Amino acid sequence: MLDFVQQLVSGVALGCVYGLIALGFVLVYKATEVVNFAQGDLMMLGGFFAFTFIGMMGLNYWIGFAGAVAAMALFGMLAERVVVRPILGYPQFSIIMVTIGLGYFLRSVAGMIWGTDDLKIETPFSQGVLRMGSLVLAYDKLSVIAATMILCTLLWLFFNKTTLGTAMRASSENMLAAYYMGIPVKRVVAVVWAISAAVATCAGVLLAPITFIHSNVGLVLGLKAFPAAVLGGFGSIPGAVVGGVLIGVIESMAGFYLPEGWKDAAPYIVLLTVLLLKPEGLFGLHVRKKV
């Protein structure tokens, strides 16, 4: 039983990271119908920025964290301006390919700048553990869970309660109509990319004490975040986090109870099953096809 709870907590913590990356997918998808295959790589880059600020320049953890988030928000806007904006309105496949290309580029450049070693960021909560009876929970894992909850709530409020959030939802439904209604669509899209890069950075920095940062971490985790986003229904903010947690728990349980090899395949088996039975996901909207 104790093993089960331990596995559950570490699964939830891992799942929160998937959820945060999936949140990035969902934000961009919700606002622009673009699926950003470079989301994991944005997370990786955010982690490296934080490492530069905290590990190399010796800044305070929180200042370094904020600096990395701000820098990545700017980077997200830059990426949107240079790579994504010229092809908005073209078939989705072109956009997927562009973001795959961007991911390739970011991975290689990060490898050139920061090397190929695993890097570690010292955090205020990388050491301690919380003891509850005979249950031992590490603070770094709890911090991931807490931060995910906070971010998810903030983003949900932002999307559903603020004017800018409503503008984003409008431009995702129909860009041209949103433009006619006076919404500055281009600026809205740029802001969405900034937010999504910032969320990715949070994931990267929180992840750093658990799995370390290296140039391929984005690819590995990014691919695991797809099942999370699909399970939650592409386009639902709470869905992304719930999907991420489910995938994390499934992976963790499969690694513990099933023979070797199931751990890596389990998320994709779940994904294919979901796509087969309920393609709109757990929280997705079911939309009728129009001719």
Partner 1 sequence: MRFLFKTDYEDDIKLFPHSGYVVTYGVLLALLLIAPHVLSSYLMSQLVFVCIYAIVGVALLILTGFTGQASLGHAAFLAIGAYTAAYLQKYNVPFPVYFLAAGLLTGIIGAMVGFPALRLTGIYLVIATISFALIVEEILARWESVTHGNEGMRVKTLSLLGVAVPRDSPTFYYLCLAVLVLTIVGTLNLLRSPTGRAFVAIRDSETAARSMGVNVALYKVKSFAISAAITGFAGVLFAHKLSFISPEMFTLQLSIEFIIVILIGGTFSLHGAVLGAIFIVMIDPFLTYLKDDMPGIIAGIAATFGAGTATAGNIEAKVAAFASLNGLKGAIYGIIIVLFVLFEPLGLYGRWLKIKLFFQLFPLYKRATFKRQKIYVKSERNR
Angstrom CA distances, 126 to 70, 142, 261, stand at 23, 10, 29
Q: Which of 272, 176, 207 is nearest to 15 (CA)?
A: 207
Angstrom CA distances, 64 to 12, 123, 195, 287, stand at 26, 11, 18, 43
Nearest distance from C-beta of residue 215 to partner 1, angstroms: 8
Q: Amino acid letter at 256?
A: F
Stretch that binds partner 1, among 61-69, 130-138, 240-248, 283-291 (CB under 8 A): 283-291
Stretch that binds partner 1, among 139-147, 157-165, 194-202, 226-234 (CB under 8 A): 226-234
- Give the separation between CA 86 and CA 73, rounded to whole angstroms: 20
Candidate list 11, 24, 235, 248; residue touching partner 1; CB under 8 A: 235
Stretch that binds partner 1, among 2-10, 48-56, 133-141, 224-232 (CB under 8 A): 224-232
Candidate list 106, 221, 245, 247; residue touching partner 1; CB under 8 A: 106
Taking CB under 8 A as the rule, does residue 111 contact partner 1? yes
Taking CB under 8 A as the rule, does residue 117 contact partner 1? no
Nearest distance from C-beta of residue 132 to partner 1, angstroms: 36
- Give the separation between CA 2 and CA 199, rounded to whole angstroms: 33
Nearest distance from C-beta of residue 81 to partner 1, angstroms: 12
* Contact indicator for 218, 103 with CB cutoff of 8 Å: yes
Taking CB under 8 A as the rule, does residue 184 contact partner 1? no
Residue with tokens 């699926």: 35
Taking CB under 8 A as the rule, does residue 103 contact partner 1? yes
SS3 content of the chain, % helix, strand, coil (to 5): 75, 5, 20
Q: Which residues pair with 131 in a beta bridge?
A: 136
Candidate list 8, 210, 275, 282; residue touching partner 1; CB under 8 A: 275
Taking CB under 8 A as the rule, does residue 283 contact partner 1? no
Candidate list 4, 5, 74, 90; residue touching partner 1; CB under 8 A: 90
- Give the separation between CA 220 and CA 41, rounded to whole angstroms: 9
Cβ neighbours of residue 222 under 8 Å, at least 6 residues apart? 21, 37, 38, 39, 40, 41, 43, 103
Question: Given the rule CB under 8 A, which residues bind partner 1?
Answer: 33, 35, 83, 86-90, 92-94, 96-98, 100-109, 111-112, 116, 172-177, 179, 215, 223, 226-227, 230, 234-235, 260-261, 264-265, 268-269, 271-272, 275-276, 279, 287-291
